[in-house]
Chain A
Amino acid sequence: MKSRDTLRVGFQRPFGFYASVFYLGMVLVMAIFGNMIANDKPIISTEDGVLRFPVFNSNYQPGSKVVEHVNPIIPFSYNTIDKNVTRSVAPLSRNQDGKLHIMGTDNIGRDVFAGIIRGALIVIKIAGLSVFISFVLGSFIGMCMAYYGNESIKLGALSLFFLLSGMVSWIYWWCNYFIFSSTISGIKFGIGLLFIVFVTLFGIVVSLRVEKNKWNIPLDNLGMKIVEIIRSLPGFFFILFTLILFGQGSWFVMVFLLVFMVSPAFIRHARANTLAVIRENYIESGRAIGITDLKLILRHIFPNILGDLGIIALLAFIECVMMEAALSFLGLGLPVDEMSWGKILAESRSDIRSWWLVIFPGLCLFFLVWSLNYLVNYLRKKA
């Protein structure tokens, strides 16, 4: 009996599991190969007998003879504007060239299906990037907080002075480069940054050896205080305010804000799980045989808390996706020429008759969030 069970274990998961994994895979495929699925340029063509791939590199020589061999399934790219269109066109209607708009067009004649495929890329890019960064940063900080606790790190007056002044001069140097001075070249700036880091580290190391009186640095308490402060702030309003001032249409600011919003969750859960793991005997044995702290954290603690952090990563992904869609819906955040699910949704508000603008991107968003939620639920019940 038991051997049969182990053989069948791969197919014994509920239907929802396969559905959600399939959908997530589809979004990933749409994101990676979207350029080849929906594009107004052919995938393979010959120009004067020479094989070309216009999807990647589109410039033909003027006057050359072009033969198109393989065209994408959807003959529109996300920003192709159909000039014959006066208002949004219903699904399954053809334009004057006889090309089919499977999901219709938006109000200025961009194909909705192509936009949805592009939206998958945006989701993976923004949410994936910010979740990845906050996963790495947040879980490392959280593990360090739990590992060192409130009593392990001791600094004296001199080393504390080096630490603080190093931080201040680091901030000053960035401000100097971006706000005040146009005289500093990039190389000078980089050398300055390295110099500050080197002097700070050197000062701390030397003064740690010299000093006798040292104070406890409550790393854990400080970190938790900061996490609580970030959590209790109205994040959405702060994001809106920052975007309107600094980052309209900037990828960098958007990802930065999402990382800022999401990483406290990673810090909290990494810390809580590490506190549970750290009592185990193998950690103490590792310390006893002299494994360094960094190796202990990365090789022995991190793999043990990875499962729980994975669930948090899925939840953070949901939050990022929702946030990005909401910001695009309000018309903030992404660059103007980009297309995303939230942007298509927002266009439906100007014309109530075009139901396809609200149904299709909304369903895509809903299925994505549902699959992630389902996976979270499934993994939690299994654990």
Chain B
Amino acid sequence: MRGSLLLSRITSFAFTVLLASLVIFLFLSTTNEQRIEQVLVLNGQQESVDYEKYLTEYERLYRKNNFDKALFFFSILPKNYPSNVREITNPDVRNSVKKLLNKGYDYRDIKETINKLPDGVDLNSLMLNKQVEFSYFPKFYWHGFENQYWYWIKDISSGNFNLSSKDGLPVLEKIGKAMSWTLTFVTLNVIFSLVLSYFLLVSQLSNLNSWWSKITDNISLLLMSIPAFWLATLAVIYLTNDYYGIGIFKGIGIWNNHGDSVFYYLPKLILPLLVVVILDIAVITKIVKDVAIDEYKKPYIMTLRSKGVGNAIIGKQHILKNSIIPTITVITGSVAHALTGSLLIEVIFNIPGMGRLMYDSILNHDFNTLTGILFISVVITVFFYSLGDVLYRLANPKILIQ
């Protein structure tokens, strides 16, 4: 039974990652030409300075990145569309051919015209009144393994995420550096919030009707409603400078990521951790207490009371244990979401983690890095969800028997 559970989890993990990779690749492929131009700009090639050199470099990169191959294993295209328009390496010719094809012209005619094309003549003017009848009718092509998606998958599975178009560094290296920060931050976040909310829960669960329990209930409802980025912005504005006279945490933000170890910067993580941990504790205690209210109504509590077991032990050993089981998936899910959800916190407090890298690459239109981050975070979050599911089933054997 357990073996089959693990197997089904693994297959669904693989399936989800494969599906996500398809979507990511589809997104990425819309930026092909933009990415080549970015690399050319990075190498100092300018279209206006030396067009011939620019063009040869463009065509070299175009072939090197396999952009002349088909997109996927198969394609369904309109009748007049040939499957090999991508093989035209000259961007201007390719775009005008595409324009003509969109108007419904036959590709054979276009090809003849291109071969005969003298310099400086507009392609549009030569191609009049040669439209194909019912050009929108579909046609199926099979391309086999010589396609961009296959090459991309092979690259990614060997850890090659291409180069960043912002600074030319390997994407994997950048992600690795950012990942160490995010992992440090998230680990500290999860440890602190779990430990603190454990003690908070133990103090409340012995009597849900006590004043302490009611007050914390209301406070956690208030804290749950605070948007994390608002609290973070408030903290940055009031607590990090002397303008309002309460600058306790000065020198926030990690500007220099060279040389010094993570531990050198740990004090700077105090304020962001404070913000995140407070909000997380509110959410975790609220979820567990919602379950605990139902748990108190069950008959085994009455049995315990009739045996003379005290409130403290009932709360700590029975209620807490039984209320945590349904929340395991929530907690592992929140770990997964902390990895991606810390984007705003990282942007506001200037921590050079994954979220900050994502934000920077969005601003720079750095699509290789974006894709790398997206793919890796898909793998991580899906992994944590599967882990949560397995843990949940192991912690609650009732489900395994069903």
Contacts and interface: CB of A to CB of B under 8 A. Distances in A.
Interface of A: 168-169, 172, 176, 180-184, 192, 225, 228-229, 231-234, 236-238, 240-242, 244-245, 322, 325-326, 329-330, 332, 345, 348-349, 352-353, 355, 358, 362, 365-366, 369-370, 372-374, 377, 380
A172 B233 CA distance: 46
B390 interface: no
A362 B234 contact: yes
A124 B78 CA distance: 42
A366 B225 contact: yes
A349 B348 contact: yes
B378 interface: yes
Please classify the interface of chain A as helix (H, G, I), strand (E, B), loop, or mixed, using the class held by over half of its residues: helix
Given A237-B377, A358-B234, A358-B237, A180 B227 contact: no
Contacts of B104: 181, 183
B27 A183 contact: no
A352 B241 contact: yes
B182 to A, nearest CB: 12
11 contacts: A181-B104, A181-B136, A229-B19, A233-B378, A236-B340, A240-B362, A245-B31, A365-B227, A369-B227, A370-B222, A370-B225
A352 B233 CA distance: 10
B171 to A, nearest CB: 15
A50 B340 CA distance: 59
B301 interface: no
B226 interface: yes
A322 B227 contact: yes
A265 to B, nearest CB: 13
A241 B348 CA distance: 20
Of residues A183, A234, A348, A352, which shows the largest number of chain B Cβ atoms within 10 Å of its Cβ?
A: A234
B227 A168 contact: no
Given A244-B365, A358-B234, A370-B221, A234 B340 contact: yes
B102 A366 contact: no
B299 to A, nearest CB: 21
Nearest to B101: A180
A219 B393 CA distance: 24
B233 to A, nearest CB: 5
Contacts of B339: 234
A374 B221 contact: yes
A234 B236 CA distance: 27
A112 B230 CA distance: 17
B401 to A, nearest CB: 20
A350 to B, nearest CB: 11
B348 A168 contact: no
B317 interface: no
Contacts of A348: 233, 237
A326 B381 contact: no
B281 to A, nearest CB: 16
B344 to A, nearest CB: 6
B27 A245 contact: yes
Given A176-B136, A232-B16, A236-B341, A325 B227 contact: yes
Contact of A237 (B76, B78, B236, B358): B358
Given A229-B16, A352-B241, A352-B243, 17 more contacts: A183-B102, A231-B385, A234-B336, A236-B340, A240-B358, A240-B362, A244-B365, A329-B229, A329-B344, A348-B237, A355-B244, A358-B230, A362-B230, A369-B227, A370-B221, A374-B221, A377-B221
Per CB-CB distance, the 5 closest pairs between chain A and chain B, nearest first, are A370-B225, A232-B385, A234-B340, A369-B225, A362-B230
A169 B139 CA distance: 11
A326 B341 CA distance: 11
Contacts of B81: 180
B221 A326 contact: no
A54 to B, nearest CB: 36
A180 B230 contact: no
A234 B378 contact: yes
Contacts of B167: none
Interface string B74-101: 0011100100000000000000000001
Given A180-B77, A181-B102, A237 B225 contact: no
B189 to A, nearest CB: 17
A53 B386 CA distance: 60
B274 interface: no
Of residues B27, B78, B227, B340, which shows the largest number of chain A Cβ atoms within 10 Å of its Cβ?
A: B227
B374 A352 contact: no
B234 to A, nearest CB: 6
Interface string B1-26: 00000000000100110011000100
Given A325-B227, A373-B225, A237 B12 contact: no
Contacts of A345: 229-230, 233
B232 to A, nearest CB: 10
Contacts of A237: 340, 343, 358, 373-374, 377
Contact of B227 (A176, A231, A233, A366): A366
A365 B378 contact: no
A131 B124 CA distance: 48
A24 to B, nearest CB: 13
Contacts of A369: 225-227
Given A172-B138, A241-B370, A362 B227 contact: yes
Of residues A172, A238, A349, A355, which shows the largest number of chain B Cβ atoms within 10 Å of its Cβ?
A: A238
Nearest to A240: B362
Nearest to B98: A180
B237 A233 contact: no
A233 B386 CA distance: 12
A329 B359 CA distance: 12
B374 A228 contact: no
Given A182-B102, A352-B241, A225 B12 contact: yes
Contacts of A349: 233, 236, 348
Given A352-B243, A369-B227, A374-B221, A358 B233 contact: yes
